[in-house]
Chain A
Amino acid sequence: MVSAILAIGLLAASFGALLGFASVRYRVEGDPVVDQIDKLLPQTQCGQCGYPGCRPYAEAIAGGDVEINLCPPGGETVMISLADLLDREPVALEQEEKRPSVARIDEQTCIGCTLCIQACPVDAILGSAKQMHTVIARECTGCELCLPPCPVDCIIMDPIPTTLDSWVWPEPEQMERLP
C-alpha cells in the first residue's frame, strides 16, 4: 500500500519536474503561428488588408477574428495556403487579385520632395531633398503606398512583364469530367 503510493507519487513528481524543466528550457519566444502566417504573406507591406503591414495582418489572423481573404497581392494562392495552414475554409477574395507591378518615377516631373521616400515601406526609393528620386525596381514590392503622398503625381505603376524566365507553359485544357 505504502510502496504503491510512494511509487505513484515518485512518478508524478519526476514527470512534473521533467515537464517543468521542459517548459523553461524549450520556451517558445513569440507566437510561432504569427511567424508562419507572416511567411506566407507576400510582404508587399501595402496595407490593402486594412492593417499597417503584413505582420500586423498576420497577428490579426492569428488572433482569429479576421478573414483570410483580405490580401489582394497574395491573391488566391496566399488565401489557399493560409486556409491550409490554419485549417479554415477557403473564402472568396474580398478584392480582385492584382497583377504584380513596379513603381517608376517620371524624373522629368519629380520635384524632389522626399514624401514618397518616407512612405516607402521597404526603402526602395532613392533620392534627397530637391534631387529627383528614383525607384530601385528590384526592391519595389508594388505596394502603391508612394502614390498618394506624391504632390505632382509623377509615380507610375508598371505591370511586371513576362520574361523568358518567368513564362509559364500553358496549362492543358481541362478535360471534361464525367458527371
Chain B
Amino acid sequence: MSRALHTFHGGIHPSEEKGQTRDLAITRFKNREEVVVPLNQGIRAVNRPIVEVGDRVSRGDRLSECFNPLSVPVHAPCNGIVTAIEERPFTHPSGMQSLAIVLQASGCEPHDTPALPIAPLLEGLSNEEIITKIRTAGVIGLGGAGFPTAPKLRSGGQQIETLILNGMECEPRITCDDRLMREQPEQIILGVEVLNHLLQPKEILIGIEDNKPEAIEAMRRATANANAPIEVVTCPTLYPSGGEKQLIQILSGKEVPSGGLPYQLGILCQNVATAHAIYRAVQDRPLTHRVITISGTAVTAPGNYEVAIGTPIRQLLTDCGAAAGELVVTVGGPMMGFPLKDLDSPVTKIVNSLIVELAPTSPSTPVRNCIRCASCSDACPVRLLPQQLFWATQSRNYEDANSLNLFDCIECGCCSHVCPSHIPLVDYYRHAKAVLRNQQQEKVKAEQARKRHEFRDARILREKEEKARKLAAKRAALKAKEAQKKEAGATAGEESPDKDDKRAAIAAAIARTKAKKAKLQQEITPQSTEAGQQQ
C-alpha cells in the first residue's frame, strides 16, 4: 500500500472496454459434441499421443507423453472415446493444422476446486517432486505467452528473492483473470502458497491494476490469513503494465536486461491463473479447463466462461449466440491478438479471450506514409526506436533491425496503436522476427553441414593416406623379403624350412615343364625346319 511504485517508459491508455464482461460471473461451458485437444500447446511442444483411436478415456487422463523439457503433456478434459488422432485446424495466426486427439465428449464438467489447506498435500514431497507434479499436470503460463511453468520454477537454480503474481490484466476487453480473482481468490492464494513453499522468496507481491477494485479487495481478504508474506499492490492502469518485464519494473524498479530473464535478478513472475492451475496440479488435477472472456458486438451472450481445453471455437460461438454472417474472431486481446483463420480451431491453454465482431463492410483506414512524428518512440515500453525498426524492416534490411534490438520488442502494439498514419508496425516486426529466426536456423544448419563436409574431406584424405601407407608397407615387406632371400640364398644355399621346400618344389616343377617343353620343341623343330626347307 505504502510501497513506492516505479514507472516504465511509454505506455498508452487505450479504451478499456471491459464493461461488457467484467460483471458477468464465470459460467461453465457445457460441451456437447467433439473436443479437439491439440498436442501442440505451448512453445515447440514435442508430444506423442499415448492413446489410440477407440480408447475410452475419462476426464483428467493423460493423452500424450513428451520428451522435450519445454513441453508439457495434454489431458482429456472430459469422459469420452477417442474418435481420431489427426491433423486438425490449430489456433495459430498461420491457420495451419496440427496433430490433435479428437474425443467424442460426454460429461465435460470440470472438477470443483475447493480451497483446502496445502500442507497435507505437500507433505513428504521434495521440491523436485512438486515441480514434476506441476509439469505432468500440463501447467503452462496462462497469461498468454504459454511458457511452461516447471522449467520456470527451477529458475536456473537461482534463489528467488521476489515472487510477483501478475493480476494486472492490462489488455482491453479481457476480464477472465479479474473474475477469477474475484470468485476464487482463496484458490489463487493457495497456489501462491505452493510457490512460496517451493521458492522461499523474501516477499510476494500481487500486482493488480487499480481498475479492478473488487479483485483487489477479494485478494486482500484472501491474503489476510495466508501462510506467506504476501502483499497486494495496487498499480496505476497503463497498458502494457501486465507485460512481465514491465510489471517487474513497476514493482521493483529493476529492468530485466536485454536478452536476459527475470530470475537473473532474483525475480520470478507468474500469472494469477497459473497460480490457480498450480494449486489444482498439486491436488493431481491436470490443466484441462481454463477461463476465457468472450466479448464483442456479434455475440448475444458475452461473458467469462470456464471451457474445456480443446473445445472448438465454433461450438462456443454458437452457444454465445454469435450473429449469422461473416465473423471476425480475434484470439487474445485487441492489442496483441491475432485474427482466427478457421472457426473449427480449438481453445488452447494460451487462449484467454475471443473477440467476436462482424466483418467490417467499409474498408479499413488506409495506411499512410510515416511522418516521423516519433509518437511510437514515446509510446514504446521497451524504449526501442519503432520508426527506425520500421525503415529497416520495410526495406527488408533485417540485420539492421536486429542490431536495433528487434528481439526486445514485446509486440505489445503500442506503436501501431498511436501511429497517426495507421502503419501496422508490429506486423512488420513479427515478420522480420520470423525471417531472422529462420535465417538463424539456416546458419546453424549450414555450420553443421560445413563441419560434416570438412570431416568427410578429412576422412577421404585419411583413407587415401592409409591405403597408400599400407601399400607402401606391403611393398617394403616384399622387397625386404626378397633381399633377405637373396641374402639367404647367397650365404646358405638351398637349406631352408618348409617355405623354401615349397619354393624348391615349385622350382622343380618349373624345371620339369621346361624340360618337357624343350623336349617337345626338339621333336617339333626338326619337322618344322624340314617343312620350311620343303617349301
Residues of chain A at the chain B interface (Cβ within 8 Å): 38, 41-45, 53-54, 77, 81, 121-124, 139, 141, 162-172, 174-175, 177-178
Contact = CB atoms under 8 A, between A and B. Distances in A.
B369 A177 contact: yes
Contacts of B446: 41-43
Contacts of A178: 369
B427 A122 contact: no
Interface string B90-112: 10111010100000000000000
Contact of A169 (B369, B431, B450): B431
B364 to A, nearest CB: 12
22 contacts: A38-B450, A43-B447, A43-B453, A45-B449, A45-B453, A122-B453, A123-B452, A123-B456, A123-B459, A139-B449, A164-B90, A164-B96, A165-B44, A167-B92, A167-B94, A167-B434, A168-B438, A169-B431, A169-B433, A170-B431, A171-B427, A175-B423
Given A169-B431, A172-B431, A177-B369, A44 B94 contact: no
B145 to A, nearest CB: 15
Given A175-B367, A177-B369, A123 B455 contact: yes
A164 B427 contact: no
Contacts of A172: 367, 424, 427-428, 431
Contacts of B453: 43, 45, 53-54, 121-122
- The list of the 10 closest CB pairs from A to B, nearest first, reads A169-B430, A168-B434, A43-B446, A43-B449, A122-B452, A43-B450, A167-B94, A171-B431, A172-B427, A175-B367
Contact of B96 (A45, A162, A170): A162
Q: Which of B92, B431, B441 has the most CB of A within 10 A?
A: B431
Given A44-B449, A169-B431, 19 more contacts: A42-B442, A43-B453, A45-B449, A54-B450, A77-B439, A81-B399, A121-B456, A122-B453, A122-B456, A164-B90, A164-B94, A168-B434, A168-B435, A169-B93, A169-B430, A169-B434, A170-B431, A172-B427, A177-B369
B496 interface: no
B484 interface: no
Interface string B33-51: 0000000100010000000
A124 to B, nearest CB: 7
B448 interface: yes
A164 B98 contact: yes
B184 interface: no
B387 to A, nearest CB: 15
* Among A141, A166, A172, residue most surrounded by chain B Cβ atoms (within 10 Å): A172
B394 interface: yes
Nearest to A163: B96
Interface residues of B, number: 37
Nearest to B443: A39
A58 to B, nearest CB: 11
B93 to A, nearest CB: 7
Contacts of A166: 438, 441
Nearest to A121: B453
Contacts of B434: 167-169
B78 to A, nearest CB: 26
Contacts, number: 78
Interface-centre pick from B40, B94, B448 (highest chain A CB count, 10 A): B94
Contact of A168 (B394, B431, B442): B431
Main SS of chain A's interface residues?
Answer: loop
B368 interface: yes
A81 B93 CA distance: 30
A43 B448 CA distance: 9
Nearest to A118: B460
Q: Give the one of A41, A162, A170, A177 with max B CB within 10 A.
A: A170
Nearest to B98: A164
A40 B369 CA distance: 34
A123 B98 CA distance: 32
B456 A164 contact: no
B303 to A, nearest CB: 30
A150 to B, nearest CB: 19
B368 to A, nearest CB: 7
A124 B453 CA distance: 10
Q: Which interface residue of B94, B369, B433, B453 has the most chain A CB atoms within 10 A?
A: B453
A93 B44 CA distance: 35
A54 B448 CA distance: 13
Contacts of A177: 369
Contacts of A175: 367-369, 423
Contacts of A124: 452
A26 B54 CA distance: 71
Interface string B464-489: 00000000000000000000000000
B42 to A, nearest CB: 12
Contacts of B447: 43
A143 to B, nearest CB: 9
Contacts of A169: 93, 427, 430-431, 433-434
Contacts of A53: 453
A75 B442 CA distance: 13
Nearest to B454: A55
Best-surrounded residue of B40, B434, B455 (most CB of chain A within 10 A): B434
Contacts of B459: 123
Contacts of B93: 169
A3 B58 CA distance: 100
A105 to B, nearest CB: 18
A144 to B, nearest CB: 14
A149 to B, nearest CB: 16
Contacts of A77: 439
A117 to B, nearest CB: 11
Interface string B366-409: 01110000000000000000000000001000010000000000
B449 A174 contact: no
Nearest to B40: A164
Most chain B CB atoms below 10 A, which of A43, A45, A124, A174 = A43
B454 to A, nearest CB: 8
Contacts of A121: 453, 456
Contacts of B367: 172, 175
A25 to B, nearest CB: 28
A177 B453 CA distance: 46
Contacts of A54: 450, 453
B92 A164 contact: yes
Max chain A Cβ within 10 angstroms of own Cβ: one of B399, B446, B447: B446
